[in-house]
Amino acid sequence: MTARQQAIEAIASRRVASTQNYLEHAGEDIYGQYVFGEEAQREYLAKAVFKKLRRTIEGLEPFDPAIADAVANGVKQWAAAHGATHYTHWFVPLSGSSAEKHDSFLNPTGDSSILAEFSGKGLIQGEPDASSFPSGGIRSTFEARGYTAWDVTSPIFLQVEPNGVTLTIPTAFVSYTGEALDHKIPLLRSQQALGQQALRVLRWFGNNSVQRVFTTIGPEQEYFLVDRQLAELRPDLILTGRTLFGAPSPKGQELEDQYFGPIRERILAFMMDLDRELWRVGIPAKTRHNEVAPAQFELAPVFEGTTTGSDHNMVVMNLMRRIAARHGLAALLHEKPFRGVNGSGKHNNWSMATDEGENLLDPGHDPHANAQFLAFLVAIIRAVNANADILRASIADANQDHRLGANEAPPAIMSVFLGEQLEDVISQLEGGSADSSKKGGSTDLGASSLPVLPRDATDRNRTSPFAFTGNKFEFRAVGSSAAIYWPQTVLNTAVADSLARLADELEKLECNDMAGLTKILSGIVKEHKQVLFEGNNYSEEWYAEAARRGLPNRRSTVESLPDLETAKAKKLFSKYGVLSERELEARVEVNWEKYVKVINIEANATLDIARTMILPAVVKYLGELGAAGSSKGVAAVSAAVTAGADKLVDAIHALEHAQHAAHEADGVRAEARAFHDKVIPAQDAVRAAADDLETLVADDLWPLPKYRELLFQY
């Protein structure tokens, strides 16, 4: 029996729920128990220290270093009470993965004893080796010093493992020269820039009580779960996160029976464990369900501040991988782990809020009469249209190329969906003032046992990359494996710029000059309405229409990344202090290098699997056919397999040549284009030949778990 067959046989024994009693560990009793949140702060900090820390967390005043030691002592006592022996400064460098270095609380005292210590300096600042993280040229490899700085706004939490507990401090990562080496610092800067410009607009409307405007985020996370033992027999899944080979399963997603279907017991056990662990670290996980593709699922949290929500999404992805392993599963977060079925995205539900609890994107019952809402809405429309190319570039990477630009949500063209109600209001505004708003009404289902349902004033559009969904926008284009800091930084900065331009115009008017406001907003709509689209973004007609409107359509990463190198992009980020030109250039350089490395790894894995796993299986099958005699049927199969083997060998040689030629390119940009134009097509040719052979070679000889097993055996 082959390893693949043994893995399939073993799956049945793992189809059992967790023995842990879900009801004993659910709900409010465990929520936030591993977070140094407001309740823990109140218990472990002196009242004066607690009040000052809360004001900093709420964005009302800078952190006072004078309270650092007191806060550190309270944090240490709280962590020790939960069994923590180590602490770490947790951050997200430009690699896009979270990073952590663990230090013990214990220090030798010099008299053969130890003392548990944690100072304010240890809380506020760390010093990881910066030389081995991507820097895009900001730091040379021999220049090692870098600093982590505590982000007070993101909750401290505990990582609780069977063998120990680690105090985890979310931080920012900066170089010795003071330049951002992470994704957190630009996000915080963009939040500040947007908040400042939003306050200018609110002040014009006469709102002088609001002290802070910030953005909120609710990232829906899509992912696949497959049996871990099967996944570990696939070097492509282990090394690249996606299947580089695989003929289509006889059944895919065409019956549409997976979406919102009953959740299998083994999967539900994983989901319940995941929910519990997320709640313990204060992540408000709310929704779980089967997604469209077989073996695909989704988790959605409640809204949070964007900085905290971005950190939490990194924790979500890390916990998914860990908890899946406990259940004998592998969590796949790649944007397109399986060819021929839907890939995965991360739908970022984004809005703006004030410290008084007002959602600035809530239209109310009569959007046409809500002048403040319309001002912010129109500013966002301008932001997306004016910076569509930069927004597209913010989500560009090698993984995304498998879904963006193809016939899958969403296309590579940035557009805005408003819905019937707001589209009508904006249309009125273009011609002058808006005087009415369409209402939703109700739906009678025609059966007395069923209630009459209130109907929203507008439908939703799941094909739009940036859709209004009632009181927020859904940025649907972000990739499932991505750290969401960078796309949100770009969106925040683009909106900050648009709000600044609006405030500049408003401040030339008297406060609450509604006629003047209407004229300004009408002008913005006329200039930027081409980005509004209410139809099917997948349709070929939209591609043609978008081109007619002059909207950018960047179908690949190599087409998109240059948009971050333009004078427009440099000016946008530097004007609002989000990124210096040098910091932006570093990020672009890292993205180019990462693209090349990802494709090169995939090419290497493709060659390795084709040479050492697939070809030997084909040769063995040909040997069996040769020993089976020379009947007409055997001869026909042998001829087909021989032709397929020759095609595979030729494709392997072509990929080797294309890869070698790409490495000879002059500079990383030329190398990336060579990988895109030559290596990827050559790699696809190897796959095509191998996938054809998969349908010919005897099933018991095929070395790789097949799609029908990965997608349906779990």
Q: Provide the CATH number for the domain formed by 595-712 in this structure.
A: 1.20.120.1560
> Across residues 54-62, what is the average pLDDT?
88
Q: Provide the CATH number for the domain formed by 190-441+453-578 in this structure.
A: 3.30.590.10
The span from the CA of 359 to the CA of 379, in Å, is: 15
Question: Residue 109: what pLDDT?
Answer: 58
- Across 87-101, 104-118, 234-248, 372-386, least confident range: 104-118
pLDDT of 208-219, one tens digit each?
999 999 999 999
Question: Residue 134: what pLDDT?
Answer: 82
Question: Residue 455: what pLDDT?
Answer: 67
> Across residues 644-659, what is the average pLDDT?
98
Residue intervals in the chain for CATH 3.30.590.10:
190-441+453-578
> Across residues 28-42, what is the average pLDDT?
92
Question: Residue 551: what pLDDT?
Answer: 96
Q: Where are the alpha helices (DSSP H) in 19-85?
A: 38-44, 47-57, 68-81
pLDDT of 585-623, one tens digit each?
999 999 999 999 999 999 999 999 999 999 999 999 999
Which residue pairs from 40-45 have beta carbons closer than 8 angstroms and sit at least 24 positions apart in sequence? 40/78, 41/74, 43/78, 44/74, 44/75, 44/77, 44/78, 45/70, 45/71, 45/74
Question: Residue 58: what pLDDT?
Answer: 87
- Is 702:674 a contact under the CB 8 Å cutoff? no
685 confidence band (pLDDT: 50, 70, 90): very high
Residue intervals in the chain for CATH 3.10.20.70:
23-179
What six digits make up the tokens of 235?
């070097």
Question: Residue 442: what pLDDT?
Answer: 66
Over 70: is that where the pLDDT of 24 sits?
no
The span from the CA of 252 to the CA of 258, in Å, is: 10
Question: Residue 486: what pLDDT?
Answer: 97
Q: What are phi and psi of 331, to 5 degrees?
A: -90, 125
Question: Residue 111: what pLDDT?
Answer: 58
> Across residues 468-488, what is the average pLDDT?
94
Compute the mean pLDDT over every residue in the chain, rounded to the nearest whole number.
Answer: 91
What six digits make up the tokens of 368?
């046409």
> Across residues 673-687, what is the average pLDDT?
98
Residue intervals in the chain for CATH 1.20.120.1560:
595-712
pLDDT of 303-343, one tens digit each?
999 999 999 999 999 999 999 999 999 999 999 999 999 99
Q: Which fold has domain 23-179?
A: Ubiquitin-like (UB roll) (3.10.20)
Question: Residue 365: what pLDDT?
Answer: 82
| Region label for 343, one of left (φ > 0), alpha (ψ between -120 and 50) or beta (otherwise) | beta
Question: Residue 539: what pLDDT?
Answer: 86
pLDDT of 409-421, one tens digit each?
677 899 999 988 8
pLDDT of 499-520, one tens digit each?
999 999 999 998 888 899 999 9
> Across residues 196-205, what is the average pLDDT?
96
Over 70: is that where the pLDDT of 183 sits?
yes
Look at residues 467, 395, 192 and name the one whose alpha carbon lies nearest to residue 306.
Answer: 192
Over 50: is that where the pLDDT of 17 sits?
no
